[in-house]
Every structure is written in structure tokens, then in C-alpha cells.
Amino acid sequence: MKGKIRRVPLGGVSPIIIPQSDFNPKKKSRDFRPIIKPPIILLTLLTLVVFNFSALQAEDSLRIEIPLVKDSPFPLTNLEFYQITQPRVALVLSGGGARGLAHIGVLKAFEEKGVPFDLIVGTSIGSVVGGFYAAGFSADEIHRIISEIDWSSIFTDETHRTQMFFSQKSIPRRHLLQFRLDGVLPVIPSSISQGQKIFQTLYNHLIGAKVQAGGDFNRLRIPFRAVASDLISGKKVVLARGDLAEAINASIAFPLLFAPVEIEDMLLIDGGVTDNLPVSVALHEGADFIIAVDASSPLRKRDEINAPWEIADQVTTIMMKTPTEESRQMADVLIRPNLKGFKGGDFQKADSIIARGYQLALKMADSMLQNIRIYKTKKNRSSKPLGILAELSVQGATFHPREEMLKNLPFQIGQTITSGDVEDALKLIYASGYYERVNALVTGDSLARKLTLQVKEYPYVSEVQFEHHHLLADSFFAELQEKISHKVLNFKKLLYFLEQLKNEYLQQGYSMVEIKEVTYHPEKQLLYIRIDEGLVDEIVIQGNRTTKNFVILREFPMKSGDYLKADLVKEGIQNIYSTNLFDRVLLNIEPTRKGNRVIIKVKEKKYYLSRVGAHYDLERRTEGFVEILSDNFAGTASTVSLIGIVGDFRRSVQGLLYTVRVLNSYYTARLFLQYDERKDRFYKNFDRLKDYQIIRRGGKIVVGQQIERLGLVSAELRVENIDIHSGEPDFPYRDGYEIRSLALRSVVDKRDQLPFPERGIYNRWYWETGSQRFLGGSSSFTKLFLGLEGYYPISKWWNYHPYFYAGSADLTLPFSEYFFLGGQKEFPGLHEREKFGRQFIHTGIEIRYRFPIFNSIEAFLIAKYALGATWERPDDRITSSDFLHSLSLTFALETLLGPIYVTYASLIHHPPILQFSLGYSF
């Protein structure tokens, strides 16, 4: 017979060692081989029982207490609170990628059946599900959160365009390849993702959890442990303290997919590398009964081993095969859902995987509950007969009538009782919440027992005083005061009322509220409750070796003296990450004597970059692009850039210095210098003549005010010398200009992504004037432009894009400043810059269809109608014949080489043309 060895006291005699049956006889670590033969054991037990009964008849008294342990959720003064000690049931959740979503179904079944557990241990995806459940989320809530995550983009750490300032948006992506440089050598990424998006996904939900860890995972609704692996020591790491989101992040940081998470001196990666089913962790944490849910992935097939991370996953599975089997043997209950056919990356099949876990756990729940009850009964007590109850009395009950306490006891006078019956009665009385301590004294002999219940009541409360800072309405506190005061304190109800209080704060966005102190003043019968409402005592930044503190702090919308609000904390993390200065931005909150210390932890990027790009189209042929830049010049988040462009029709050298925000303001500034040679084809009445060339030398200074993260209002001073040349005798615009102009611009850009926006508006206007008298230019002119457009999703696959552009200028406007019309993307059917004038109108509509699946590449079909016209003079008469009508159909792909466009376009009454382009424009 196998089992545990435990010591069971029998009456007043010395304990003997007996084997306790185990629900899993396969557990090697709990084997027991009896060395005494069964007949001898039975004879010994019978002798002891007879001896013990005689001893009880002779006893004068017996004191019975229930096992208690101090476990108040907040500091107490002049009060005590205990929890009844129970055998500890642990739930162990394995890794397994998407297969581990079966844990959600298991938890749902446990909720419905009332399966209890006192500890959760999770590895990898098991730490995600287990951590959220421990923090107060229900199984259905976790299911909803998992369903809302876009798993296809979870490895993409790029800042969403809507989170950027316009001064960041205004420089669109132009490069094909980008290398960050460490000195002169390129930095090779350690993983596909730095893990920022997965961290923020976790953090944004956990910051609003019903229960906050406050740095200690034992303070969660259910104590929790996350298992990770230290890349430096090679050892398993059990995380029981710190930030919950960061701990879970470390536990799921699978090598090559996610970068290691730095905690203290460790580099932490996926816990499945060292322990994919951490039953041993539960044992080490003192668990008595272990339920293990195993969703581990089997070995991959030959055709499923291609990418480097798939190889790493296969190696990990091989390494963990034997340890995982040993862990299965150590569990009291093992739940292994049938997940055949589901892979570790099948997150899109979440509903089916969750259902598998739910169905199996529901079938096993009843027998599991019975096993737990049997185990707890054996573990909790060694019940012994006491005899016949002849008298029952109560000591210490001042505020509650004796009858009230006794009416629900599980026995009556005249019945034969056991020590277990008395213990059950004490637990029932203690559970009422009115008593600090309860115990029992048994006197007399077995034929006439006297049972005295001895209790210590909680005190009477005349007044309740809250110390808070009025973040909630005073009426809410007045209502709580009325419920608690002028009555005997019921600690169970007090816990409930304070939980209501924290939930009210949570609904208002104050997620870091803690009950700091509960003190009873007996001389005044006053209950004093001090609340920490999440006061920010100090803000500390860690990890910024180059970046100035003010660059980070100006993006964080809170300061010392504020109260922590979940939305502002999330906004702060996103704002700091949106600067594009950091690989990772984490935030920890630590309690201090005065409030809370907010620790902003950043991991800086390498700030020197090299970018290269290329573009090809049928008109301008090939163009190449090279850029060298520093995107955190002097640690101020300023960018210094040098750009070179060369192609069949263009040569350009550009220098750029700009800062997104000037100091702590929302002003932005930019200095742009360039030498640019550009050739264009010259068309007259749709006939191509010889090319012309425009050479620009000069620059401009822009100072503007950011409009939140939506747009910009700016003033621009431009100084350029322009030369225009052409070998065409009929080209009438050969000249040289000295442009000295001042412009006012306004832009609102809410497009969500480029080059294929799904939603958002893009509206802009500008007024520009060139001056001879005040600015020293060679010509004076005035120019006005208006552009309005928007992207609106019709359905998941269809998009609607209307637009309208118009511009006007006076007769003195030089040719280089004309409005131009044409090109594949702007006016299909016309060649680039084929039409031009001092006035123009261009309007149209696009209908775009996104193909659901096209070999994992974004593919689009775009139908477009455009209407446009240009005029040389403002006084030209406008007629319907001036307008050109364009109809086009474009097939587009978004690829690693940049966007590809193939367009078939036709102007009405003109022959159709085919247009093609590849790569980003620059």
C-alpha cells in the first residue's frame, strides 16, 4: 500500500505512524511501504482504541481549538483576524501556446462546480490565464480578453500611427532596410519582437484588475506563482513578487520570438524551457493536493519545423518530455484535454480549444470534489468519541444572545458527540464574522459531557472615521459609516464593505487603492480606516543612459502629488514608447511610507541608424535612397539626418534637424536644407516634348504648435534659389528665381496607417506669400491650397475614400510653385505632372477591396474615379470641357519590398495606359 505518512494523535496517548491513502498511487515522491504486517496493525489499533476510550472516561477536561492563522488583508491595530487553516489545494497550469487556452475552459468548469483551490502556479500561457484569474478576472472575462487580442500583430512593436505627434507622422516610411548601429557595426536583433506590445496588452488589462498585487503575489485573490527561466544561470525562476504583468511577460518570452525580460540581474525567458508543468513548484510552496492541467504540445512533424523559433520549440519539447512526464506522476489529479489537431499557434481557434478544456473538466469535477473533501477530512482532524452531551454553555458572549449562537449547531443535548462535531461547530460560529477567537472546553466523563463554548467577540463600534482625500463622493463614505457604526463589528461584513469601497474607486479609474490601516480605539469605540488612494510620492526613471529625464517625464501625464489612475498610467506608457526612443517601456508601482513610487523602466535603442531604399516606376525609372541619422541627438529626442537620393531623373542631398517637442512644450521645430535636381517630362496637349529640369538650393525653418496627436499649426520661412532649364524650344518657363516666402499651415491627420489607411481624415490648408520688399525675394506671389479627404470602412473588406483638392494663386506665381496634376496614385491616366497651372481643382472617389487571404500578403483592388482641371490664369473662364475624367482599376500589394501598384487607367476620349510602381516614395 502506498501513501503519505502522517502523525495522528489518539486521545491522550502517544501518536503512532499510520499510512494515509493517496489519490495518485503512482507518485514516486510519496511512496510508503509498511514494514508491519496487516494483522499486527489491526491488533495494535484495536488495543489503542480500547485504551483510548478508557482514558477519555477518566479525563477531567479537554480543550478543542480550530487551527487558525493570521491573515488580514490590511494592517490591524487592537483587532485580530484569522483564517481557518485548511489543506492547500494548488492548480498547476502548463505551457503549450494556444493549446493552453484550454485552461480557461477548465477554470469555467471549476467555477460552475465550485472546485476550490488556494494557489495557482503557471508556466508560459498557463501564467497568463492563471495570473489573470488570480487577479480577479472570471473565466468568461479572460475568454473575452483573449478573443479581443489581434494575435496576428502581437509580434509587431511599432507604434500605432494614431499615437504619434504630427511631426513624427509627417516623415513617412521611405526605407526598405534599416540598421541600428553600435559604432560602425549593425545591431543584430535578438528576437522578432522586443515584447512591448504583449507587455502593454497584459498591463492595460491588469492595471484595472479587481485585486492588485502591490508587489506581492500572495495578496492577489488567489496566491500566484509565475515560472520563468534565467538565460544566464540556466535555472528555473519562480516569480512571487514584483509587477504581475512583467512577471507574466517573462514567463511567456519564448526565445527568438520575444526578447528576454530583464528583472534584477536575470534575463528571463519562457518558463517552459525549464519546467513546462510546474507541479514541483506547487509542492515547494506547501501544496497538499495538486490539480495539474497539461496542454503541452507534442513534437512537431517534419514539415512543421522551418522557422528558427520552430526549431527552438522542438528542442524545448524534447528537453521537457521526461520532466513533464515526471510532473504528471506527481499530481493528485491530472487533466489532459484532447487537443489533437490543435497547434501551439492556433489562437484563432480559441473557442474550440477552450471548449475542450471545459468539457473534460466538467466530467471530472464531481469525482475531483469528492477526492478533495476526503483528503481535507483526513488532513484536518483525527475525530474521536467524546461521549454523551449533557450540558451546553457559552462564555464571553456579551452582545449576542446564547440562543442565536446555538440554534445552528450540528448537535443537541442528549446526543453522542465527537471532537470532530465540536470542531465543526466552532468553525460555524467563527464563520459568522462576529468573533475574534472561538474554542471549546469539554469536561466531565463520557456519560455526561459538559461543553463550554468560549468566544471573544469583536467590539462595539459607535463611530467610523475614514481618512481619505475626497476622490469619491462623501455620500458614499457616509453610507458605509451608517452600515458599520452603532453595532457590534462583524469582520466578515467589514471585509465586504471595504471590497465595495475598492470597487467604487476602481470604477472611477483609481486602481491602486489600498486599505493602509484599520485601528480600533476602545476608549472612544471608534473604528479608524485609513485609505491610500494611490498617491504618487515620487517618480523614478531607470535605464536611460542617454535620454534626458525631461524627455521621458514630459510624456508621462502624472506628477508627484497626483493620484494614480489606470487610464493615465496606460497613456503614459504608450506616450513614452511612442517617442520611438526605446525598445521597451515598463512601469512598476511600489508602495512607500507616504504613498507610491512610480518606477519607469526603459530599455534604450541604439540611436545611430542607416537606412536604404529603392523605388521604381515606368515614368521615373529607378531611384535609390540612403540615410544616416541619429534619432536621439544629445539625449533630447531630436533627430539629425543626412539623406542622399540618386536616380535616372533625380539627384538630391538633404539635411534635416528637427525636434518633436521643444523642451516640455508642445511646440515643434524643424530646419531643412537641400540641394535637389529634378527632371520631369514636359507635355503639351497630351504630347510629350523634351524634359525640363528644376534645381533647388536652400532650405526652410518651421515652427509649429502640436494639436494633441492629431495635427499641427505652423509657420514656415523658406529661402530657396531655383533654376529651371529645358532643351525644348517651346518650353516657356526657363528662368531663375530667388524664393523668399512665409507660409502658414494647418494639418489634421488621423489616418490610422500608411500606405493603405482603413480609417481617418487627412485635412490641410496653407497660405504662402513670397515677398520682394520684406523678405528680399526676386518675385512676389500669393498662393492658397485646401485639401480634404477621409477613409471610411464600409465593412471588414471594403473601404470608401472621397477627396477634394483645390488651389489658387496670383499671376506672379513662378512655374516652380505651380499646382501639378497627374501620376499613377493621384490622377491615373495622366503622366506625372502632365497638367499644371496657377489654379486647379481635383476631386474623386476610391472604392477599395481588401482580399481576405492572399498568401499572407495584403492585397487590394482599387476602383477610382477622378475629376480635375488646371488653369494658367485666375481670370480664365471655366468650362466643362476643361475637366478631365479618369477611370482606373488598380491591383496593389503590400510587400516587404514596399507597396506594388499595377494600374489600368483611361481618360475619357483618350487611349488607356498601364502604370506600374514598386517601393516607397521619397
Catalytic residue numbers, as ranges: 124, 270
Burial class (CB in 10 A: 0-12, 13-18, 19+), 382: middle
Kind plus residue range of the DSSP H or E element containing 498: helix 491-507
DSSP E strands: which ranges in 708-857? 711-726, 735-749, 760-770, 781-793, 798-809, 819-821, 835-837, 839-850
How many angstroms separate the Cα of 344 from the Cα of each of 92, 167, 578, 695?
19, 41, 31, 58
C-alpha cell belonging to residue 307: 522557422
Distance of CA 187 to the CA centre of its chain: 27
Cell of 384: 474521536
DSSP class of residue 241? B
Of 366, 225, 229, nearest to 283 (Cα)?
Answer: 225
**Can you tell me the distance from the alpha carbon of 100 to that of 131, in angstroms, rounded to the nearest whole number?**
13
Q: Are strands 463-467 and 839-850 parallel, antiparallel or unpaired?
A: unpaired
- Distance (Å, rounded) from C-alpha 859 to C-alpha 528? 65
With both helix axes pointing from N to C terminus, report the angle between 474-484 and 491-507 in degrees, rounded to the nearest 10: 170
Helix (H), strand (E) at residue 681: none
Distance CA 199, CA 584 (A): 9
Q: Which ranges constitute the DSSP H helices of 207-278?
A: 244-251
Distance CA 697, CA 677 (A): 9
d(CA 150, CA 299): 26
- With vertex at residue 26, the alpha carbon angle to CA 23 and CA 32, rounded to the nearest 5 degrees, is 85
Partners of 504 in the β-ladder: none
Of the candidates 541, 552, 543, the one whose C-alpha atom is nearest the C-alpha of residue 636 is 552
Q: Report the distance separating Cα 108 and Cα 98, nearest Å.
A: 17
Go through the chain and tell me how many residues it has: 922
The pairing of strands 289-293 and 89-93 is parallel
Shortest CA distance to 728 belongs to which of 677, 683, 696?
683
Separation in Å, CA 710 to CA 552, 767, 790: 20, 20, 14
Phi, psi of 673 (to 5 degrees): -125, 145
Task: Find residue 104's DSSP bridge partners.
Answer: none
819, 842 Cβ separation under 8 angstroms: no
Backbone phi and psi for residue 560, each to the nearest 5 degrees, phi listed first = -60, 135
Which run of H or of E encompasses 314? helix 308-330
